[in-house]
Amino acid sequence: VQSVIVAIDGPSGTGKSSTSKAVAAKLGLRYLDTGAQYRAITWWMLSHGVDTDDPAAVASAAGKPVIVSGTDPDHPTITVDGLDAAGPIRTQEVTAKVSAVSAVPEVRTLITDLQRSIAAAAADGIVVEGRDIGTTVLPDADLKVFLTASPEARAARRSGELKGSDVTATREALIRRDAADSSRKTSPLAKAGDAVEVDTTELSLSQVIECVVTLVEEKR
Ligand code: C5P
C-alpha cells in the first residue's frame, strides 16, 4: 500500500474533523487536526497573560509553548508544555480568540513547519485537516478536499456538538470566525485550485466519509 497525503480544508461546521478521523481510521492513515494546534497556542497565550489582540505581543510569544500532537485517528491527543490541552482548547474563550492569534504570520510560520514535519514523519500517509492545508501547508498533497455546507447546516451541527447552545448565537459566531479566517492576509481559508469540493449540506456524515474514502482510493 502506497503512502498517501490527504488535505481536507473548509470552514467550521462542515464535518471536517469527524470525516478526517473516520477516513484516516478506515484507511490506516495518521490524522492531524491543525485547528487544535492553533487553539493550543491560543490557550497558552490566554493562560500566560498575553494580549491576544496585540499582534506584536502574540508574535514575540509564539515560539514559547511546546505543542505536541498525537496522530492516532482513534485517539488524537494534544499537549502544551506537557499538559493535556484537549479539554481547555474547546472553551468559548479560546474559540473567540483563535482567529486573531492564527492570523499572526509568526504563529503561522511556526505551526506550518510543525505540520510539515508531522506529515513527513507519517510513513503510511496522513489525513491533515484545516483551512490552508491544500493551499499552503501541503501544496503537493495527493488529494485535496474542500468541504462546504450552508451556514444553516453548519450552525445546526455546531449547536448539536455544543449541547444546549443557542443556534442563532452559534451561527453568528461561526460566520464571524469564517469571515476573519477568509479575509486574513497570511494563508487565508481558501479552496486550492486542484481541490475537489464536496457540498455536505444534504449529506449524512457516513455519506461524506464514503465519498472521501472513494476519492482517496482512486489516488492510491
Ligand atoms: O478547525 P477549528 O475550528 O478547530 O480551527 C480553529 C481556528 O484555527 C480556525 O477558526 C482558524 O482561525 C485557525 N486555523 C487556521 N488554519 C488551519 C486550521 C485552523 O488558521 N489550518
Give yes or no for residue 181 CB within 6 A of ligand 1. Answer: yes
Which cell numbers in the block locate residue 6? 490527504
Taking the mean position of all CA atoms in its chain, how far away is CA 148?
14
Express each pLDDT in 60-78 by its tens digit.
999 999 999 999 999 999 9
- The C-alpha atoms of residue 152 and residue 162 are separated, in whole angstroms, by 15
pTM of the model: 0.96
pLDDT, residue 2, reads 73
Instruction: Kindly list the structural domains of the chain, giving each domain's residue range(s) and its CATH number in brackets, ordered by start.
Output: 4-209 (3.40.50.300)
Which is the closest atom of ligand 1 to the Cα of 132? Answer: 21
pLDDT, residue 43, reads 98
Which cell numbers in the block locate residue 48? 500566560
127: Cβ contacts below 8 Å, ≥ 6 apart = 6, 8, 20, 21, 23, 24, 29, 30, 31, 32, 73
Residue 12 in contact with residue 155, Cβ under 8 Å? no
Residue 161 in contact with residue 167, Cβ under 8 Å? no
pLDDT, residue 55, reads 98
Express each pLDDT in 161-200 by its tens digit.
777 678 888 889 999 999 999 999 999 999 999 999 999 9
Question: 72: CA distance to ligand 1 center in Å?
Answer: 20
95: Cβ contacts below 8 Å, ≥ 6 apart = 39, 173, 177
Give yes or no for residue 99 CB within 6 A of ligand 1. Answer: yes
The 3-state secondary structure of 32-57 reads EEHHHHHHHHHHHHHHCCCCCCCHHH
Question: 43: CA distance to ligand 1 center in Å?
Answer: 13
- The C-alpha atoms of residue 216 and residue 114 are separated, in whole angstroms, by 24
pLDDT, residue 135, reads 98
Question: 47: CA distance to ligand 1 center in Å?
Answer: 19
Residue nearest atom 10 in ligand 1 by C-alpha distance: 99
Give yes or no for residue 52 CB within 6 A of ligand 1. Answer: no
Question: 112: CA distance to ligand 1 center in Å?
Answer: 12
Q: Catalogue the E-assigned strands of the chain.
A: 4-9, 30-33, 67-70, 77-80, 83-84, 125-130, 143-148, 196-199
- Which residues of the chain are under the pLDDT cut of 50? none
- The C-alpha atoms of residue 189 and residue 179 are separated, in whole angstroms, by 9
pLDDT, residue 1, reads 54
